[in-house]
């Protein structure tokens, strides 16, 4: 979490080049892969997260939170929530 609007904009623009930690970048790479096609997530992805400092509980939390946001956004999209 941050109140730094410049950092938020940099992450939104391209998290790969944003000034964030390697751990955060690894997490975002995992979340992006999970979001685009969860069937492509592999044991190697989990090992990469572990190497970045996440334990099994952290990996579960990242997966659950990203999946929940993906789910709720799809529900909102399907019901037209937020559309003009």
Query: Averaged over 37-55, what is the pLDDT?
Result: 97
Structure tokens at 22: 């390697």
The residue ranking higher by pLDDT, 42 or 4, is 42
Q: What is the pTM of this model?
A: 0.85
Which candidate, 29, 58, 57, places its Cα nearest to that of 45?
A: 29
Q: Which range marks the domain in which residue 56 is found?
A: 21-79
Is residue 34 assigned to a domain? yes
Domain count, the chain: 1
Tell me how far apart the alpha carbons of residues 53 and 26 are, in angstroms, rounded to a whole number: 10
CATH number at residue 63: 1.20.1290.10
Cα–Cα distance for residue pair 26/9, rounded to 1 Å: 19
Residue 3 — pLDDT band, cuts 50, 70, 90? confident
* DSSP state, residue 19: S
């Amino acid at each position: 979490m941050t109140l730094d609007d410049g950092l938020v904009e940099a992450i939104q623009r391209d998290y790969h080049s944003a000034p964030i930690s390697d751990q955060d970048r690894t997490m975002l790479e995992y979340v992006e892969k999970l979001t685009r096609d969860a069937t492509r997530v592999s044991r190697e992805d989990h090992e990469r997260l572990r190497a970045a400092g996440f334990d099994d509980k952290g990996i579960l939390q990242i997966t659950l939170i990203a999946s929940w946001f993906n789910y709720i956004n799809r529900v909102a999209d399907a019901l037209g929530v937020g559309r003009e």
